[in-house]
Amino acid sequence: MKRTGYIEEITESWIGQNVVLQGWVARRRDLGKLIFIELRDRSGTVQVEIEPGSAAFANAEKVRAEYVVEVEGELRLRPEGQRKEGLGAFELVARRLEVLNEARTPPFELDAGERVSEDVRLRYRYLDLRRPEMFRNFLLRSKVVAAVTRFLDQEGFLNVETPMLTKSTPEGARDFLVPSRLNQGEFYALPQSPQLFKQLLMISGFDRYYQIARCFRDEDLRSDRQPDFTQLDLEMSFVGQDDILDLNERLLRHVFQSVLDVELPSPFPRLTYFEAMDCYGSDKPDLRFESAFVDVTDLFRGASFKAFADAVAAGGSVKVLRAPELTRKQIDELERVAKQNGARGLAWLRRDADGFGGGISKFVEAQREQLLSRTGVQTGETLLFSAGEWRGAVEALGAVRIALRDLFDLAAKGPRFHIAWVTDFPQLDRDPETGKWTYMHHPFTAPHPADEQYFGTEQQGRIRAQAYDLVLNGFEVGGGSVRIHDPKVQTRMFEAIGFSEAQAREKFGFFMDALEYGTPPHGGIAWGLDRLVMVMSGASSIREVIAFPKNNRGSDLMAEAPGPVEEAQLADLGLALRRD
């Protein structure tokens, strides 16, 4: 039979009507004379009452948790006193109850939710996905994708699919390889992103492209990484950075408005990479709370406190972060965080009635008034210091700032969502291990024209890229750039990172050719869709917004993938397992 509707669609107008519902038995209570079933479908649960003597009763006696049933009967209001909010106001008095399928006893109680070990949940993912919280995440995800595609379709973007079996792309992570049978000894790579292909589509004149694109990186997994992940990937021609940011702001406002009924600001706040690092010690600062660093470098130039004075003399910075009252134990914990992030320690002092006490207070007597006025620190509060080479100093204090957020739930007082652009990333960065110049985003990112003069000089670290990240609640949820469209600039960029002509041609030859056949100015962005949906839904991990995720060994515990294959399959591919 056809159901009257989903459970959530039950309204007062159905009262007294004959209603058919279908779903799973969430719970059964047998009161001897009466049987109550809590019936669940994807949209909600409602109580079903089965009276003795009804044709439904014998069947109802047999049902167990997670049986699939169809019930038919009269919908009524529950007796006063038992009546609850929403769907709890109704009950269905079943005249007919049909078992559509039986169910073995589930290996865990769905209600137990996240208290069940994640391994068990992943092994029986199909049961885990029956939890209403999980369904809500996927409903939200589906709505996000629908809102994105609807908006971009209207804005003239073409949804184009790019190859999955392709060649190494320029992100520089490790590729997943796919052996070719028709070309034995050769391999495809799964795409790390559609980067080159979307730029080729701009060269083809498609003008506006988007794709919900699956991407693959064979990295060692962390809790918020998956071997494959999903990007909203888009690219536009004949535009500059402001056009791209503006379009993305309108798109995100549309998504948040239509999916969550949340109003994002217009325009989004923008920080440069330098500002973000200098004030928050992160290129993806969580701005739901302020806690910006105060610069006190000038106060310690030639000061008697040698640790800080030396840092300043060496061209470094001294930054201070105002924090709530901290116990000694909390300070130790924060110092551990600072050290994990490259600091040698965490200098601190406490504001007391007379001035400062504890920590380094006796070394900063001379700076007392300035510290008080610049930080506005209140009695009982703590000041935390970081001194040294600028980037190291701000990064360590940035990590402390996030640890403080988690310790005091600082973000809870702020808005539910804070979104911002971080712009003007450096074009080039030194590899921390080799000291060699490398690209910060990817080698096709365009520099600021005004900074091109620094290419090939000692100062090429000063070149700012026309690159931007989208930061939501401290997560990088998107990143993009204006691309290089001038082959001469592309050549200088390859030179700057020490790629010989031959190396560049070997990796990207076909793309460098393409650039010379009439490339329009263009740029774009990729959103990390999994992470965006995770933040929007309030989930704690991207695994909660991916239907069938891998664990942190890259394994699908349900399907048991990866797995061994037959010798004949390898032989077809011209491959053998190494026996070491």
Contacting residue, 55, 77, 177, 412, with a second copy by CB under 8 A = 177
Find all residues with CB under 8 Å of 248, minimum gap 6, and list them.
470, 478, 525
> Which residues from 58-117 bind a second copy, rule CB under 8 A?
66-68, 70, 100-104, 106
Query: Closest distance between a second copy and the C-beta of residue 150, in Å?
Result: 7
Binding mask 243-282 toward a second copy (x if CB under 8 A, else -) reads x---------------------------------------
On whether the CB atoms of residues 377 and 385 are closer than 8 A, the answer is no
150 is in an annotated binding site: no
Closest by alpha carbon to 106, among 26, 45, 33, 180? 26
Residue with Cβ nearer a second copy (296 or 529): 529
**Contact between 575 and a second copy per CB under 8 A:** yes
**Contact between 440 and a second copy per CB under 8 A:** no
226 is in an annotated binding site: yes
Query: Closest distance between a second copy and the C-beta of residue 111, in Å?
Result: 15
102 is in an annotated binding site: no
Contacting residue, 30, 503, 562, 567, with a second copy by CB under 8 A = 562
Query: Closest distance between a second copy and the C-beta of residue 188, in Å?
Result: 5
529 is in an annotated binding site: yes
Query: Closest distance between a second copy and the C-beta of residue 541, in Å?
Result: 16
Query: Closest distance between a second copy and the C-beta of residue 198, in Å?
Result: 10
Kindly state the tokens that stand for 410: 């600082």
5 is in an annotated binding site: no
On whether the CB atoms of residues 351 and 379 are closer than 8 A, the answer is yes
Residue with Cβ nearer a second copy (135 or 363): 135
Residues β-bridged to residue 36? 29, 49
Residue with Cβ nearer a second copy (42 or 374): 42
| Distance separating the N- and C-terminal Cα atoms of the chain | 61
Binding mask 231-250 toward a second copy (x if CB under 8 A, else -) reads -------x----x-------
Contacting residue, 14, 36, 108, 187, with a second copy by CB under 8 A = 187
441 is in an annotated binding site: yes
Kindly state the tokens that stand for 170: 């320029």
Query: Phi first, then psi: what are they for 123, rounded to 5°?
Result: -65, -35
**Contact between 573 and a second copy per CB under 8 A:** yes
Binding mask 488-527 toward a second copy (x if CB under 8 A, else -) reads ----------------------x---x-xxxxxx------
Q: CA 206 → CA 209, 234, 373, 481, distances in Å? A: 7, 12, 56, 18
566 is in an annotated binding site: no
How many residues sit in the footprint of a second copy (CB under 8 A)?
Answer: 117
Contacting residue, 44, 88, 93, 166, with a second copy by CB under 8 A = 166
Residue with Cβ nearer a second copy (307 or 573): 573
Binding mask 124-153 toward a second copy (x if CB under 8 A, else -) reads xxxx-xx----x--xx-xx--xx--xx--x
> Which residues from 191-230 bind a second copy, rule CB under 8 A?
196-197, 200-201, 203-207, 212, 214, 216, 218, 220-221, 227-228, 230
Contacting residue, 88, 113, 170, 179, with a second copy by CB under 8 A = 179
On whether the CB atoms of residues 360 and 385 are closer than 8 A, the answer is yes
Half-sphere exposure (Cβ direction) of 41: Cα atoms closer than 13 Å = 19
220 is in an annotated binding site: no
> Which residues from 373-392 bind a second copy, rule CB under 8 A?
none
Closest by alpha carbon to 158, among 213, 215, 214, 236? 236
**Contact between 182 and a second copy per CB under 8 A:** yes
CA 57, CA 63: separation in Å to the nearest integer? 10
Radius of gyration of the chain, Cα coordinates, nearest whole angstrom: 30
CA 251, CA 150: separation in Å to the nearest integer? 10
Question: Is omega for the bond preceding 562 within 30 degrees of 0, making it cis?
Answer: yes
Contacting residue, 17, 82, 117, 159, with a second copy by CB under 8 A = 159
Query: Closest distance between a second copy and the C-beta of residue 107, in Å?
Result: 9
> Which residues from 528-557 bind a second copy, rule CB under 8 A?
546-548, 550, 553-556
CA 82, CA 78: separation in Å to the nearest integer? 6
Burial class (CB in 10 A: 0-12, 13-18, 19+), 169: buried
**Contact between 26 and a second copy per CB under 8 A:** no
219 is in an annotated binding site: yes
The helix (H) or strand (E) run that includes residue 322 is strand 317-323
Question: What single string gives the DSSP state of each residue in 380-430?
Answer: T-EEEEEEESHHHHHHHHHHHHHHHHHHHTGGGGS-S--EEEEE--BSEEE
Residue with Cβ nearer a second copy (207 or 429): 207
Residue with Cβ nearer a second copy (239 or 347): 239
Query: Closest distance between a second copy and the C-beta of residue 167, in Å?
Result: 4
Closest by alpha carbon to 37, among 28, 160, 579? 28
Query: Closest distance between a second copy and the C-beta of residue 123, in Å?
Result: 8
Which three-class secondary structure state does DSSP give residue 570? helix
> Which residues from 399-418 bind a second copy, rule CB under 8 A?
none
On whether the CB atoms of residues 90 and 77 are closer than 8 A, the answer is yes
On whether the CB atoms of residues 209 and 162 are closer than 8 A, the answer is no
On whether the CB atoms of residues 477 and 532 are closer than 8 A, the answer is yes
Residue with Cβ nearer a second copy (267 or 574): 574
On whether the CB atoms of residues 333 and 309 are closer than 8 A, the answer is no
Binding-site residue numbers for L-aspartate are 171, 217, 441, 483
Binding-site residue numbers for ATP are 217-219, 226, 476, 528-531
Binding-site residue numbers are 171, 217-219, 226, 441, 476, 483, 528-531
